[in-house]
Amino acid sequence: MRPLKNKAQQIETSIASLIILFEKIITAPKDYVNDQTIRNALKSQGGIAKLHLTSGSGATLMSISPMSLTTLKSKISTVSDGQTFESFDRMRIQALDALDHASLIKDEPKKQTKIGIRRELEQMKIQLEQHRETNFRLLQALSRALAAIESVRNITDFDLRAKRARDESDTIAKILTLNEYPFNKVERPAIVLALNTDAKS
């Protein structure tokens, strides 16, 4: 890996790596359940800002350098696609919850007990409610997308149509950031292309 050119690039790489780390933990918490350094960092906003971690290699390299919480809050929206600090922090909490749940499963005896079954039911109820909230926001985003198509398809001015498409894309992305990973983002280029099928000649 080439040396980082400057502090700004280091911050950008660190924030991108933090988001990747959250995604990896949420997807496969068992791989990180025994890493006390990461667990402690996830417990607070300040802790995750101060995390120092280098993991993986090549395309999977994560390089995280400590930064101030103020820097993290101010730079997150400029170096990540559609992320706000609020959505970033929700991912942090989601990752911590995933580790806690993985620890609970690891520490429980293999033999099912009434307490274990009760805990599983409680967890399933929580997940069901989360899925309901996610579905509601996805429907909101879909409804907004359909309305956007209706509002821009008859605009003849290319520049105005492009601006409206970008604005609506940003709004839909913000709605989705309220969801938990992996339902918190959308491939924005796909939306823009769909709304600009007849390019300016």
Q: Is the pLDDT of residue 52 over 60?
A: yes
Q: What pLDDT, in 10s, does the model give residues 170-184?
A: 888 777 777 777 777
Angle at 161 between CA 157 and CA 167, to 5 degrees: 150
Q: Is the pLDDT of residue 188 over 60?
A: no
At 1, is the pLDDT very low, low, confident or very high (cuts 50, 70, 90)?
very low
Q: What is the largest CA-CA distance in the chain?
A: 69
**Six-digit token string for 73:** 């809050």
Tell me the Cα Rg of the chain: 20
**DSSP state, residue 3:** P
Mean of pLDDT values over 125-151: 82
Q: Which of 30-44, 66-80, 132-146 has the lowest mean pLDDT?
A: 132-146
Distance CA 123, CA 101 (A): 9
At 186, is the pLDDT very low, low, confident or very high (cuts 50, 70, 90)?
low
pLDDT at 41: 97
Q: Is the pLDDT of residue 4 over 60?
A: no
Report how far apart, in Å, the C-alpha atoms of 36 and of each of 65, 86, 96 are: 18, 24, 11
pLDDT at 68: 96
On average, the pLDDT of the chain sits at 81
Q: In this predicted model, which residue has the larger pLDDT, 40 or 77?
A: 40
Q: Is the pLDDT of residue 18 over 90?
A: yes
Could you state, in order of their start, the residue ranges of all structural domains in the chain?
Answer: 1-107, 109-201
Q: Is the pLDDT of residue 195 over 60?
A: no
CB 107 within 8 A of CB 115: no
- Judged by DSSP in three states, 184 sits in coil
At 147, is the pLDDT very low, low, confident or very high (cuts 50, 70, 90)?
confident
